[in-house]
Structure 1
Amino acid sequence: MRVLIMGNSGSGKSWRARQLAGQHKLRHLDLDTIYWVPGSVAVARPAYEVLADLYAFVRGHDDWVVEGCYGDLIEAALPFCTQLVFINPGKDACMANNALRPWEPHKYASKEEQDSMLPYLMEWVSQYDARDDTCSYAFHRRVYDGFQGAKREDAPPSGDGA
């Protein structure tokens, strides 16, 4: 089993990936851990280094789950996956989840440092459907709709837009 999970920040990607990894004994890669300079969230590593680490992971393990909001990295890993999951609970759910996010020591030196970044994160998350970057709804939708393999979308309930 090789699963790619994408969606907005706060959509539940990490929770779902940890659940799958534990249930099926899969290796788990949070794309944030290879995208950012270690100890410097919001400072991106060179793209060639990130891609090299991604390819080393997906080629180096038989069974895995990879999760993140980086649609270009998800797209790069598509040829290696057995299933694509697009989690899209809607902007309000993502914002609520981010407000309650526990400390992520693999990303931040302290809970205080993480909390200091929350206003920036909330603004970024709120723009999911308006942005045009590789982490946007439009990019995720294009990747999902274009993928011909096994896929599943966890969409928002009726009336709750993305």
Structure 2
Amino acid sequence: MRVLIMGNSGSGKSSHARQLAAQHQLTHLDLDTIFWAPGEVAVARPAYEVLADLYAFVRSYPDWVVEGCYGDLIEKALPFCTQLVFINPGKDACMANNAQRPWEPHKYASKEEQDSMLPYLMKWVGEYDVRDDTCSYAFHRRVYDAFPGAKREEERSSHGA
């Protein structure tokens, strides 16, 4: 089983991925861990390094779950997956989940540092339907609709749902 999960920030991707990983003994990759520079806040790594790490991961494990909002990275991993999941609970649910997000020590040195980024995150999440970047609804929809393999779209109303 090789599952790709995409959706807006706060949609429940990480919770769903952790559940799948535990239930099916899958190796889990949160794309944030390869996208952002370690120890930095909102500093992206060079694209070629991120892509190399993604390819190394999907080729190294027979069974995995990869999750993230980076539609371009999801698209690059599609040839390796057995199922694509698009979690789409709506912007309001994502914003509510992000407002209650627990501290993510793999992303931020402290809860205070994470909370300082919340206004930016909330603005970005709220623009999901109108952005035109690779993390937007339009990009996710295009990737999902074009994928010919096994796929499902689902709603998740809260983290851990």
Same fold (TM over 0.5): yes
Cα deviation for residue 27 of structure 1 reads: 0.2
* 2:3–2:81 CA contact under 8 A, matched in 1: yes
The residue number in structure 2 matching 1:160 is none
The amino acid across from 2:52 in the alignment is A
Is the aligned partner of 1:45 residue 2:45? Answer: yes
The residue number in structure 2 matching 1:6 is 6
The amino acid across from 2:89 in the alignment is P
Cα deviation for residue 149 of structure 1 reads: 0.2
The residue number in structure 1 matching 2:84 is 84
The residue number in structure 1 matching 2:120 is 120
Provide Cα deviations, 1:14-70, integer angstroms capped at 9, x if missing partner: 000000000000000000000000011311000000000000000000000000000
- Cα separation, 1, equivalents of 2:103 and 2:33: 15
Equivalent residues in 2 for 1:1-162 (5 A)?
A: 1-155=1-155
Q: Secondary structure at the match of 2:106?
A: coil
The amino acid across from 1:82 in the alignment is T
- Cα separation, 2, equivalents of 1:120 and 1:70: 17
Q: Secondary structure at the match of 2:41?
A: strand
- Cα separation, 2, equivalents of 1:133 and 1:40: 22
Cα deviation for residue 83 of structure 1 reads: 0.1
In structure 2, list runs of 5 or more residues that go unmatched.
none
- TM-score, L = length of structure 2: 0.96
Cα RMSD (Å) of the superposition?
1.1
Which is bigger in relative contact order (C-alpha 8 A, separation at least 6)? 2
The amino acid across from 1:100 in the alignment is Q
- Cα separation, 1, equivalents of 2:156 and 2:30: 23
Q: Secondary structure at the match of 1:101?
A: coil
* 2:11–2:156 CA contact under 8 A, matched in 1: no
Number of residue pairs aligned between Structure 1 and Structure 2: 157
- Cα separation, 2, equivalents of 1:24 and 1:143: 25
User: Whose strand fraction is larger, Structure 1's or Structure 2's?
Assistant: 1
